[in-house]
Structure 1
Amino acid sequence: MTYMDEIAEIIGCLPPMKQYLMSHPRFWMKLFMGPNVPYVYRLVGPHAWDGAEQAIWTVPERVKKPLKNRQCRTRKHKKRGTTDEYFRYATQKVIATNISILFCSGLLLYCSATATLPPAHLFPLL
């Protein structure tokens, strides 16, 4: 993917990710966490295509539809394989990381505090 981005930068069709982050955060998430499809390089630059954004939004449905050979009974509101599902997964990873950092820093603070206490035999019980 680095190679493709380098070529796109030379040609002038590399999508402005910072601009999408500020103006269209959901679309930025789709570009950042979704599959790398050629439509990404048709958003801006020479030979830009007006339908590129819509094509990027519909990639999961267009990929899953030919591969689906039977209909299973699932909840109608649930869409598997979409950006929202990946965002949920990424959010869980961030929360787990933060909890781990909090736990480790608390453990470190506890261990360093007990190491600085004077030995118990210096303070006999009354």
Structure 2
Amino acid sequence: MVGCNPNLRQKLLTDPKLALKCIFGPCTPYQFRLTGPRNWNGAREAIMTQWDRTFYPLKTRPLGFKTEKSSNTFYLYVFFIVVLAWFIKIFFSS
């Protein structure tokens, strides 16, 4: 009724990147500020960066992971050797 619903067909021709964000992204109030009587010049930028603003609060401090190879594979090989030796002892000892 107010005329603020964006015409996505026209946006596909003029600004396809923005139109795809509007079609496949989450529906946000910024989309209704693209056109209409109270349009906002920053609405395009807000739509393009909405995922950045969503994920930013979820980030925490860096967790200092080891960059060197973990010795888990060594323990895995040792485990398999021990299990193999155990099976050999049980099945081949008479």
Decide: shared fold, TM above 0.5.
Answer: yes
Q: Paired residues, what number?
A: 64
Gap regions ≥5 residues in structure 2: 65-94
Which amino acid letter does the alignment assign opposite residue 52 of structure 2? E
Aligned alpha-carbon RMSD (Å): 1.6
The match for 2:92 is: none
Instruction: Give runs of aligned pairs for residues 99-110 of structure 1, distance below 5 A.
Output: none
1:70/1:25 CA distance change after superposition, 3 Å? same
DSSP-derived class of the 1:11 partner: coil
Q: Which has the larger radius of gyration?
A: 2
Which amino acid letter does the alignment assign opposite residue 67 of structure 1? L
Which amino acid letter does the alignment assign opposite residue 42 of structure 1? R
The match for 2:30 is: 39
- After superposition, the C-alpha distances for 1:79-117 in whole angstroms (9 at most, x for unaligned) are xxxxxxxxxxxxxxxxxxxxxxxxxxxxxxxxxxxxxxx
1:48/1:72 CA distance change after superposition, 3 Å? farther
Which amino acid letter does the alignment assign opposite residue 54 of structure 1? E
DSSP-derived class of the 2:9 partner: helix
Gap regions ≥5 residues in structure 1: 1-9, 74-126
* Structure having greater relative contact order (Cα 8 Å, sep ≥ 6): 2
Instruction: Give runs of aligned pairs for residues 84-123 of structure 1, distance below 5 A.
Output: none
- Distance between the aligned counterparts of 1:63 and 1:38, measured in 2? 14
The match for 2:40 is: 49
Which aligned runs of 4 or more in structure 1 are off by greater than 2 angstroms? 70-73
More helix by share: 1
1:68/1:16 CA distance change after superposition, 3 Å? same
The match for 1:66 is: 57
